[in-house]
Amino acid sequence: MPIIEELQVSIQRLAGTEDLPLPSYMTGQAAGMDLTAAVGEETTILPGERKLIPTGIAVAIPEGYEAEVRPRSGLALRHGVTLVNAPGTIDADYRGEVGIILINHGQAPFVVRRGDRVAQMVVHRVCRVRWNACGALIPTQRGDGGFGHT
């Protein structure tokens, strides 16, 4: 059975959000932790509109890692609600509140309530790239074939 790496990450609940759960995995093999809305009152997102939804948490992602904020497939399928900048990146040196930029691509207003699961977060290792400028790249069978090529 594969071993899943565990990583200790510091998290801070922001004032007034003690009633909300910390990000959590909904199943034993889920890759993403659900993030909840820390709105003070119901927030309506009209069709075509986007809003920044607070989560009430700040995290200290360790150096060498990043957290990606991703849409929830159920919201996208049922309501047409997704993230504007998917995936959003939380860098290891960011210490502010995690915010979710939701957009309503659906045809009806979408109401966000306190505690609603609005996005998910996945933590990954990262590497630093050191570019090696060259005159030509090693050729491949695909070459420069782009969109719709394969």
147 in a structural domain: no
68 in a structural domain: yes
pLDDT for res 96: 98
Print the domain residue range for 74.
Answer: 10-125
Q: Is 37 exposed, middle or buried (CB count within 10 Å of its CB: 0-12, 13-18, 19+)?
A: buried
CA distance 72 to 64: 26
Phi then psi for residue 90, to 5 deg, are -105, 110
41 in a structural domain: yes
101 in a structural domain: yes
Question: Which CATH number fits the domain that encloses residue 87?
Answer: 2.70.40.10
43 in a structural domain: yes
pLDDT for res 150: 65
Distances (CA, A) of 67 to 6, 112, 131, 133, 142: 14, 23, 24, 29, 32
Instruction: Give the model confidence (pLDDT) of 29-70 as tens digits.
Output: 999 999 999 999 999 999 999 999 999 999 999 999 999 999
Reduce the DSSP state of residue 132 to 3 states and report it: coil
137 in a structural domain: no
76 in a structural domain: yes
Q: Specify the number of domains making up the chain.
A: 1
Predicted TM-score of the model (pTM) = 0.89
What is the residue-averaged pLDDT of the chain?
A: 95
Phi then psi for residue 92, to 5 deg, are -65, -25
Residues with Cβ within 8 Å of 60's Cβ and at least 6 positions away in sequence, in order, are 9, 10, 11, 92, 95
Smallest CA-to-CA distance from 90 within 114, 59, 67 is with 67
Residues with Cβ within 8 Å of 146's Cβ and at least 6 positions away in sequence, in order, are none
pLDDT for res 143: 85
93 in a structural domain: yes
Q: Can you give the pLDDT of all 150 residues of the chain as single tens digits?
A: 668 889 999 999 999 999 999 999 999 999 999 999 999 999 999 999 999 999 999 999 999 999 999 999 999 999 999 999 999 999 999 999 999 999 999 999 999 999 999 999 999 999 999 999 999 999 998 888 887 766
CA distance 41 to 32: 26
